[in-house]
Amino acid sequence: MPPAKTASNQPAARRPAIGVFDSGVGGLTVLKELLRLVPGADYLYFGDTARLPYGSKSVDTVARYAVSAAHFLQKHHIDLLVVACNTATALAFDQIRQAIPMPAIGVVAPGADAAARASRNRRVVVLATEATIASHAYQRALAERKIATQEKPCPLFVPLVEEGWIEHPVTEQVARIYLDSVFNSQTQAADVLLLGCTHYPLLRPLLERLVPAGVSIVDSAESTAQAVRTHFQSLHLPAAGEGPYLRFFATDSVEKFRRLGERFLGRAIENVQHVDVEV
């Protein structure tokens, strides 16, 4: 990516390059928030669509896939890696950080930080995939912040979102069942609902209608973008200008990535390249 030119034809301050990695398209919700909160950077997004879902893989396999993706983005001279995959963050974040020389930010710690700040009664409900819940990554992170956690796996949310059934009556009924199991009169109610999957922000308007009064929703995708903005605050990023440079890589069908991904990113997706990566 060549440096931008000023009116005097001198190179402007170099825009940092941020690599965003996910097992599929869900991490595009993180990229969407990054484009809003950190417009002064350029972005490379890697979706490991040929090897998803990570949630059904062993810890060693997830780590191997995640590290190979990190190395791929490293070769494109990124300044920061954002691990936008909850499963990879939960199971392999330490291995990813050890494998690359640049800093990395995952989705778990920023989400836990935001939930801890938002909670008044120190009780949080975490909705996530079965693999993320089984890792108890959010539970551990919230316990470190003195927050009691109730975890709820929501295995039907991802396929419903990918089907495009965001406001479908079936999705609403499924959401009611999940929420009723964690917000009921027999438990001391939490006052924060943490969305621990990058697909779930698409369901936020629906969930906001269904949660009990007084419950706030924290989105780990937005929280992660805020953490990235904080990381770069001291660097005085250049103005957004005409907009960031975006480049996308997918390990499976480019057309499927583009078609499904546009729903998550909220804008047209161009410049997608099919790639193979070494394991």
Q: Are residues 115 and 216 in the same domain?
A: yes
In whole angstroms, give the CA distance from residue 232 to residue 241.
17
Whether residue 10 lies inside any domain: the answer is: no
pLDDT computed for residue 2 by the predictor:
47
User: Quick one: average pLDDT of 236-262?
Assistant: 86
Any idea which residues carry the catalytic annotation? 85, 197
Q: Are residues 85 and 130 in the same domain?
A: no
Q: Are residues 158 and 23 in the same domain?
A: no
Q: Are residues 39 and 70 in the same domain?
A: yes
**Position with higher pLDDT, 46 vs 52:** 46
Total number of domains in the chain: 2
Look at the block and give the residue holding tokens 């050890």: 98
Whether residue 215 lies inside any domain: the answer is: yes
Residue 9: band (very low, low, confident or very high) from pLDDT cuts 50, 70, 90: very low
Whether residue 134 lies inside any domain: the answer is: yes
Whether residue 238 lies inside any domain: the answer is: yes
Whether residue 73 lies inside any domain: the answer is: yes
pLDDT computed for residue 248 by the predictor:
98
Whether residue 130 lies inside any domain: the answer is: yes
SS3 assignment, position 134: helix
Q: Domain of residue 199: give its range.
A: 109-220
DSSP 126-195: EEE-HHHHHHTHHHHHHHHTT-EEEEEE-TTHHHHHHHT-SS-HHHHHHHHHHHHHHSSTTSPPPSEEEE
pLDDT computed for residue 15 by the predictor:
86
Q: Are residues 158 and 193 in the same domain?
A: yes
Task: Please give the biggest Cα pair distance in the chain.
Answer: 68
Burial class (CB in 10 A: 0-12, 13-18, 19+), 226: middle
Whether residue 25 lies inside any domain: the answer is: yes
**Residue 212 CB neighbours (<10 A):** 12
In whole angstroms, give the CA distance from residue 247 to residue 230.
23
Q: Are residues 50 and 185 in the same domain?
A: no
Q: Which among 220, 244, 263 is the end of a domain?
A: 220
pLDDT digits (tens, 9 = 90+) for 78-129: 999 999 999 999 999 999 999 999 999 999 999 999 999 999 999 999 999 9
Whether residue 165 lies inside any domain: the answer is: yes
Q: Are residues 166 and 89 in the same domain?
A: no
Helix H segments across 200-253?
A: 204-210, 220-232
Q: Are residues 119 and 69 in the same domain?
A: no
pLDDT computed for residue 262 by the predictor:
97
**Could you tell me the CATH number of the domain that includes residue 41?**
3.40.50.1860
Q: Are residues 113 and 216 in the same domain?
A: yes
pLDDT computed for residue 14 by the predictor:
76
